[in-house]
Structure 1
Amino acid sequence: MVKHGRNKKRRAGRIGKTKLKNKTYKRWNPSPKFGNDVIKANWDNTKSPSQNLASLGLLAKPNQDVKRPNEQQGYDPSNTPSLVELFDIPDSDSMKVRKEYPMEEDDQKYIAKCMKKYGTDYGKMFRDHKINKMQHTETVLRKMGARFLLLSAEQRTVDIPAKAQQE
């Protein structure tokens, strides 16, 4: 009998493909896993989690089970202590205020060095790769320069170059 090109089909991979099943998956086990032996011994899989927690003396939803102060009997809002009484906050305390510098000292030195050579000509400053080692764009240099010139005397750690003051 004629096989109608069976060998050709077999070599082409159309017949007799064997697929191996991937058995690397782990079957899901719905029972809870416990790290504590006491809870493991007292847990009943036929009960709900909230019933099991109640049998252990725990609350399943502690925030919902507690009565709110206005729902409690005999609640008087005038008897509530103030925050100062609760947390014992002193009346006066020296707060550590951190000085804010709008520009870092390194950035001030960098832009002062650039301004020493070119003043406020940010286009030339941008093209000079020896002075502009960080390769900031013209816009970034312009913003840095404007911020540096707006600093107060207390905030500035580097003097403004004479070339930038003239312009």
Structure 2
Amino acid sequence: MIRNEKVMLDRDLAQLYNVETKRVKEAVQGNISGFPEDFMFELSKAEFDNWRSQIATSNADKLGLRYAPMAFTEHGVLMLSGVINSESAIQTNIQIMRIFSKIKQHFSDVSDIRTDLEKVKRKLENQGKNIELVFQYIDELSEKKELPERSKIGYKK
């Protein structure tokens, strides 16, 4: 999660696509109009420093970590598979899209469950109010004073 977005970094995608990171960067630079800010963004200096401190890399790392990674959103990953033209990239992207779909379905299922729970909660609250009302009526009936016994009307034997 970077900038409240679920992203994959260029280095991770390069590894999945079985290409060098610089090939991913070249593909993006050659097709930059296909990667708006909501598809791909470069990490800011602060984000990059934070990321580097988390993975404990040095400036001299041979993986090219001197440059801020590119972060790709779901749509950016899809766009990237169209510009990296290799069978490995295509097959990997199919798997990535399936995973994104499963994650979306999971969140949708969780949302449905949450809605159902809210409905049950509302029903229980109403039942609780109804039970309280029944007890209130019972209390009122039991508190009523008994009326004095009236004299009987009719013939006496």
Greater strand content:
2
Q: Which has the higher contact order (CA 8 A, sep 6+)?
A: 2
Q: Please give the TM-score of this superposition, normalised by the length of structure 2.
A: 0.21
- Between structure 1 and structure 2, the one with the greater Rg is 1
Greater helix content:
2
